[in-house]
Amino acid sequence: MAKSSSWVPHIEAFVDSSRSSSQQNESLEALASLLRNDVLTIELLVREMEMYLTTTDNVIRSRGILLLGELLARLMVKPLENVTVHSLIGFFTDRLADWQALRGALIGCLALLRRKSSVGMVSGSDARLVGQSYLQNLQVQSLAQHDRMLCFELLECLLDRYSDAVAALGDDLVYGICEAIDGEKDPRCLMLTFHLVEVLAWLFPEPSGPLASFAGDIFEILGCYFPIHFTHQQGDDFDIKRDDLSRALMLAFSSSPLFEPFAIPLLLEKLSSSLPLAKVDSFRYLSHCVLKYGVDRMGKHAKAIWSSLKDAIFTFSLQGNIFSLASDLPDTMGFEENDITKEALICLEKVILQNDGIFLSLIVDDEDVEMILRSVTISNSYNSLSVESKQKLLAFGRIIVVSAKISSSSCDRIFHFLFPRLMDILGLSSSSLSLECIPYGSPVSFGQLNFGAIYLCTELLAACRDLIVGSEDIAPQSVLMQVSWCCLLQRFSGPLTTFLSSSLVTSMKQENCDANIYSGVKGLRTLATFPGWFLPISKSIFENILTVFMSILTAGCEETLLWKLSLKALVQIGTFTEKFHDSERATSYMNIVVGKIVSSISLDDSSMPYSLKLDAIAEIGGSGMHFMLKVIQGLEEAISANFFEASSKGNLKSVEVLIPLLECFSKKVLPWFHKTSLFEDIVFHFVINIWNQMEANTTFNIGIKANELLDVTMMVMRQAVADCSEKNQGLIVQKAYNILSSSASFSLKEPMPLSIPLKTEGLQLTQNLQDFSCRDEWLISLFASVIMALRPQTCLPDVRVVLELFMSVVLKGHVPAAQALGSIINKLPATIDSVEVSRACTLEEAMVIISKMNLWSVNGNSSFRKCNVICKSVENLTDLDISANNNAMVQTNVLVGLAWIGKGLLMRGHEKVKDITMTLLRCLLSTINTELLPIQHGLSGNDSGQDMHPLVMKSAADAFHILMSDSEICLNKRFHATVRPLYKQHFFSIMMPILLSSITGSDSSITRSFLYRAFGHVISNTPLVAVITECKKLIPVLLDSLAVSSVDILDKDLTYSLLLVISGIIMDENGREAVTENAHIIINCLVGLLSYPHMMLVRETAIQCLVAMSGLPHVRIYPMRTQVLRAISKALDDPKRVVRQEAVRCRQAWASMASRSLYF
């Protein structure tokens, strides 16, 4: 036990009101930790504190009691003996009478009452004593806010944890609580009081108990809070929102049926308030209370509730145009409901759910409903309805939907009430038999086309369908079968279908209101999507509906609303059939819809545009697996037929058909398979099929548009191969390789001894692509596409031969071959398993092949020699010298090849990429040594001869773009590339120092301009985070590089991406310092770009950057103000509107930093 001298000062410190509150807190914590660690016992402490607890000095006594209370609140989990707890609670109970020292007593009581039984809790009888003392002594409403809150917490704790003990207090308790909560205004306390009432109701549920006698009083207290009016802004100290309060009050309202006589009249009264919030809240409370109060109590209010609901739904349902066509094909005839209607409809659902008998008869027998029904069906077309009628129509539709959806019996009732009448209006009931034999397409007289009736009818049908679909698993089918509305529907389904279809067919021929189309399509769609086991809709009707939609679809020569809706309806029907495994209907769908549309691919007589047709096909195929298979089959047939036509006969028309076909295949069909990742075989066969055609077809000749077709085919090939498994990929590669090697122009032989340079072949093959026959170009391109899309694990046949082949083709400027080379290098395994595959090859070996082949070996007398000598020792790869001959075309091609190989290496994080970049750099720096080159600006190098070199240098600089940028075509995730994390950052951090020092080191302006270009490519493709950490060094170079690139119109994309880097730095918090330092040159550069004529985005971004710059410290930027304002005032006259708008903002930002008298 610690000496008393060590802890008594803490007590004194706490009790002494002259100490600062932090000191007091410290001593409190110190004492608490002593107690917690058993250095001190409660008994000892209390004995020592005796004087403080009993003195007649109010201040000291209250501090003393508070200390004890606070200590206990900190020891909630420390076990205490029951005796101790008993005597402590006895003490605090007494102290509740001591109003000067109340705070401590409340805290003490709360702390003790909240203890768990495992650590010693207050006994029931003690708790009751606390309650008694509370009721006798406390005048809650006369206390300050914090004390009131403690009081409510104490009550809550008693009711929650000692309900049995305090329940014995009976009337006194209820009365005491009434008194305590009466007139409370603080939101934090209100949350507690509402909860108190809720708990109270749970405590005394009996209808003759204590609560019953006070229910009126309590409700009087509660009722005046409704509806909650709470204006505190958010972000207040206490985290209570209006919704929380409203919810708590709602729970209190609905806590006991005893409140019903008071609550319901109040809510109904508030419903007639003009405050929208009151209405929303009333409905919300009502829906909640209805369930809690029970059927018996609510019955008598039914009429009043219905009339309020009716008012709200019909009055507020919505303003404005319902069939807003702006939104793209709304699922339902979607309209925005306001909150009042929404809550009212929820409430309607709840009351009907509780007591459908009463409410449904109220609806059915209501004279207003009758009148509305008459008024909305009085005129025929949608447009001739008044705005109010339209509103009423929609509201009425909503009521029908809500009430019919609730249960089978309610559906029955509503259906019987409405359906026959609607049929009467539409003129279907009398002539039902004769109508059935009317053929489709016969015009319906517009006298019968009553929009109101059609709308209500479709809504009703949709509700019934939803009910059935939703209840499928709940209700046994046989029960549903006997529901009488089904028979009714069954009787009318035929005529109704005929009617709706002919209305649609009519609307196709003449101008018609969109609303009619919506309703018509929706009606038919609903009819077709009644589940098959549910009999009303016979097979023939289902097929008729499909036929109607199909006739609309095939007749459509442009994308009208009707066309789009019909397509969507067909897709929905398809999805539905697939989902419910309805084999009979699936067959009908397959025959009528899928079969027909697929067969229409090959027919070109249809008036439908081809692209539209393909869209429709892909959409319909997407609705189900079987349908998709059929669609694929059709597409494949069409593709292969057209491919044959195009390739062997050079049929131009087939080429034109083939391009959209292949595009559709790659954009719609393949992604669908990719998503489901099933049916890989189909994709595999598709690919093999193309290769078979290539093989069979030796007189391959495609005239114009061949390139476009080749591009699309390559795209499809890549995507399709990428989706295949390793095994299938292996088969495809083997097949392609065989076809390729059987072609005469590619001499694919075993690799020759590595020591002999292969250059002879490289040079023998003439140097441009035109010498390829059409077939050879296709073969090699498609083969390259296959290679690009392979998975890393797929093994390649004869890697060495393939490498050589590609390299020789690269020389001729064949880019796909370069990409394929990059992909091979990227995916080759670093090591091979012991099971030696004879023709497999590791990465190392491949690199050796590439370098040893010396395709581009030295025989020129150019400056590369010198560099070569210097670098020779580094790595044999550097022998890849590119002065093979002086033909700049070849050199450029080589550089492209190198760039792609480098990209493959870079992405897998292989260090050999360094050698390739060194070669590129040497190209860039070469002019240093060749003084003989005439230095010219504006070097597009059109004329051959002397300035060939700049062209090569340019492509060396652009090689960095290939290295760093993300490619859509290959070497990405979709095509299974090996990607090392952060490879860009890594490359950036290696390259930057080299590039920077080369830039400063070079003294030729041409060389420097190309170095800037390379720098620009690297930096604009590096993630911004990496750039920003280095930005102090980089900003000046970046600006120079921007200046260089903005000279040539061809470099506008580079200019823009560099500007984006600058703007990224300016916007970033970490770049701020460097930007401030370089503010002057940055602003100069941006001002220069304000008049960049070639790209609006550049000007716009430059102005935005200037706006951001205006936020820098004024000392730095003020000197530039006049200059900026002058430039901006020119931008105000920019040809583009967006730029002008930004200029206005920018001008304001810069002008307002000082007196405006200069420029207003």
Partner 1 sequence: MVSGLINANPVVYERKERRVRTAPFSADEYAVEPIDQQEIFDHIRDIKDPEHPYSLEELKVVTEDAIEVDDKHSHVRVTFTPTVEHCSMATVIGLCLRVKLMRSLPSRYKVDIRIAPGTHATEAAVNKQLNDKERVAAALENPNLLDMVDECLAPTYA
Binding to partner 1 (CB under 8 A) within 639-658 occurs at: none
Amino acid letter, 240: I
Q: Residue from 487, 980, 1156, 1158 that binds partner 1 (CB under 8 A)? A: 1156
Q: Residue from 56, 478, 482, 1157 that binds partner 1 (CB under 8 A)? A: 1157
Q: Which CB sits closer to partner 1, 1002 or 1101?
A: 1101
Inter-helix orientation angle 124-137/82-95, to 10°: 10
Lookup: tokens for 1124: 């900026």
Binding to partner 1 (CB under 8 A) within 235-294 occurs at: none
Q: Scanning the structure block, which residue is given the tokens 């006994």?
A: 123
Binding to partner 1 (CB under 8 A) within 476-535 occurs at: none
∠54-58-59 over CA atoms, to 5°?
A: 110
Find the part of the chain contacting partner 1 (CB under 8 A) among 370-378, 452-460, 1078-1086, 1142-1150: 1142-1150
Q: Residue from 77, 329, 387, 1132 that binds partner 1 (CB under 8 A)? A: 1132
Q: Which CB sits closer to partner 1, 272 or 1129?
A: 1129
Q: Which CB sits closer to partner 1, 1011 or 1151?
A: 1151
935 binds partner 1 per the rule CB under 8 A: no
Minimum CB separation of residue 1110 from partner 1 in Å reads 12
Q: Residue from 86, 421, 667, 1140 that binds partner 1 (CB under 8 A)? A: 1140
Q: Which CB sits closer to partner 1, 949 or 1147?
A: 1147
Lookup: tokens for 481: 């079968």
Q: Residue from 852, 910, 1008, 1147 that binds partner 1 (CB under 8 A)? A: 1147
DSSP state, residue 928: G
1137 binds partner 1 per the rule CB under 8 A: yes
Q: Which long-range contacts (CB under 8 A, 24 or more apart) does 1147-1155 make?
A: 1149/1106, 1149/1107, 1149/1110, 1150/1106, 1150/1110, 1150/1121, 1150/1124, 1150/1125, 1151/1125, 1153/1110, 1153/1114, 1153/1117, 1153/1118, 1153/1121, 1154/1118, 1154/1121
Find the part of the chain contacting partner 1 (CB under 8 A) among 185-193, 546-554, 759-767, 1133-1141: 1133-1141
Q: How far apart are CA 925 and CA 1010, in angstroms?
A: 9
Q: Are 665 and 717 in contact (CB under 8 A)?
A: no
Q: How far apart are CA 1065 and CA 1077, in angstroms?
A: 13
1008 binds partner 1 per the rule CB under 8 A: no
Lookup: tokens for 53: 């607890």
Find the part of the chain contacting partner 1 (CB under 8 A) among 405-413, 461-469, 955-963, 1148-1156: 1148-1156
3-state secondary structure 538-554: CHHHHHHHHHHHHHHHH
Residue 1011 three-state SS = helix
Find the part of the chain contacting partner 1 (CB under 8 A) among 64-72, 784-792, 1059-1067, 1135-1143: 1135-1143
Q: Which CB sits closer to partner 1, 443 or 1093?
A: 1093
Q: Which CB sits closer to partner 1, 100 or 611?
A: 611
Q: How far apart are CA 230 and CA 1049, in angstroms?
A: 62
Q: How far apart are CA 659 and CA 710, in angstroms?
A: 9
Q: How far apart are CA 798 and CA 782, in angstroms?
A: 17
444 Cα distance to chain centroid:
46
Q: How far apart are CA 674 and CA 719, in angstroms?
A: 9
Binding mask 442-481 for partner 1 (x = CB under 8 A): ----------------------------------------
1144 binds partner 1 per the rule CB under 8 A: yes
Lookup: tokens for 509: 């021929």
Minimum CB separation of residue 387 from partner 1 in Å reads 16
Q: Scanning the structure block, which residue is given the tokens 């296959």?
A: 786
Minimum CB separation of residue 1056 from partner 1 in Å reads 12
- Which helix (H) or strand (E) segment holds residue 180: the answer is helix 171-181
Minimum CB separation of residue 563 from partner 1 in Å reads 23
Minimum CB separation of residue 321 from partner 1 in Å reads 13
Minimum CB separation of residue 1066 from partner 1 in Å reads 20
Binding mask 1038-1077 for partner 1 (x = CB under 8 A): ----------------------------------------
352 phi and psi angles, rounded to 5 deg: -70, -40
1145 binds partner 1 per the rule CB under 8 A: yes
1126 binds partner 1 per the rule CB under 8 A: no
Amino acid letter, 1028: I
Please give the sequence-ordered ranges of beta strands (E in DSSP) within 262-415, or none if there are none: none
1136 binds partner 1 per the rule CB under 8 A: yes
Q: Residue from 136, 183, 1129, 1154 that binds partner 1 (CB under 8 A)? A: 1129
Minimum CB separation of residue 1132 from partner 1 in Å reads 5
Q: Scanning the structure block, which residue is given the tokens 């209100």?
A: 190
Minimum CB separation of residue 1094 from partner 1 in Å reads 7
Q: How far apart are CA 644 and CA 631, in angstroms?
A: 20
Minimum CB separation of residue 101 from partner 1 in Å reads 52
791 binds partner 1 per the rule CB under 8 A: no
727 binds partner 1 per the rule CB under 8 A: no
With residues binned 3-state (H G I as helix, E B as strand, rest as coil), the percentages for the chain, rounded to 5, are 70, 0, 30
Go through 359-377 and write b for each residue having 16 or more CB atoms within 10 A of its CB, e for each that does not. Answer: bbebbeebeebeebbebbb
Q: Which CB sits closer to partner 1, 374 or 1136?
A: 1136
Q: How far apart are CA 680 and CA 674, in angstroms?
A: 9
1138 binds partner 1 per the rule CB under 8 A: yes
Q: Which CB sits closer to partner 1, 933 or 1107?
A: 1107
Binding mask 1080-1119 for partner 1 (x = CB under 8 A): -------------xxxx-----------------------
- Would you put residue 450 in left (φ > 0), alpha (ψ -120 to 50) or beta? beta
938 binds partner 1 per the rule CB under 8 A: no
**Over the Cα atoms of the chain, what is R_g?**
42
Amino acid letter, 95: R
Cα torsion 447, 449, 452, 456 to 10°: value is 140
Minimum CB separation of residue 1144 from partner 1 in Å reads 5
Q: Which CB sits closer to partner 1, 673 or 1056?
A: 1056
Q: Which CB sits closer to partner 1, 329 or 1132?
A: 1132
Q: Residue count at the site for partner 1 (CB under 8 A)?
A: 23
Minimum CB separation of residue 559 from partner 1 in Å reads 18
Find the part of the chain contacting partner 1 (CB under 8 A) among 230-238, 333-341, 675-683, 1128-1136: 1128-1136
Q: Scanning the structure block, which residue is given the tokens 């591009």?
A: 711
Q: Give start and end residues of each alpha helix (H) in 513-579.
A: 514-528, 539-555, 561-579
Find the part of the chain contacting partner 1 (CB under 8 A) among 285-293, 734-742, 832-840, 1136-1144: 1136-1144
Minimum CB separation of residue 1048 from partner 1 in Å reads 15
Cα 699 to Cα 647, 659, 785, 915: the distances in Å are: 8, 21, 22, 43
326 binds partner 1 per the rule CB under 8 A: no
Q: Which CB sits closer to partner 1, 756 or 1132?
A: 1132
Minimum CB separation of residue 1149 from partner 1 in Å reads 8
Binding site for partner 1 (CB under 8 A): 1093-1096, 1129-1130, 1132-1133, 1135-1138, 1140-1141, 1144-1145, 1147-1148, 1151, 1156-1157, 1159-1160
